[in-house]
Chains A and B, each alone.
Chain A
């Protein structure tokens, strides 16, 4: 079945550092989404990407839809303590409304 390989699994960084995480797959997708989940909460949509090669920013967050349609990355610049949480990539392929989720990246930010 379709799988999204997300890396790294976890990150421990110091406040102010930049963060990068990515998702790859052997399948082609037409939409990539990035979510953040806080403990005990549902995922919150951060960025949505619809076109191959698209680069989109949301504040300190920047995400790109890979040109091959098989990958995406998320960057967080100048991390702050409230960036702590689990980040999930998710993707949709053509003719389906089922989201496939990555395995998640757990981010810890130390002051």
Chain B
């Protein structure tokens, strides 16, 4: 149980295009999902908290108009990188809390590597 998937696993796009990344909880319902960004050889940095049926809460310094988050159902959250630029290239990882295992444990997706040319 507590499996989280992400799609796509990697994407290469041209500068100026928008890219959508999906995060799904496969065997549980997640009222809260989290989006992280990770640079090479660095730790995970929380970008935003995605709440089902309401607006996402963004961390300081994260542009909400740049990184659009939608949590339309209890099993799906999407992150859209709008008008992507090379500096947006990174490894994006989502996570979800499983109500089965406890409120404090987050289970992570496999990540999406975004490369903007």
Contacts and interface: CB of A to CB of B under 8 A. Distances in A.
Contact of A99 (B4, B34, B102): B34
A88 B43 contact: yes
Contact of A103 (B43, B97, B106, B113): B43
Contacts of B41: 106
A99 B113 contact: no
Give the interface size bracket for B toward A.
Answer: 20 to 34
Interface string B35-59: 0000001111110010000000000
Contacts of B93: 42-43
Interface stretch (A44-52, A56-64, A74-82): A44-52
Contacts of A97: 32, 49, 97, 103
A101 B105 contact: no
B108 interface: yes
A98 B44 contact: no
Contacts of A43: 44, 93, 108
Interface of A: 30-31, 33, 35, 40-45, 48, 50, 88, 90, 92, 97-99, 101-104, 106
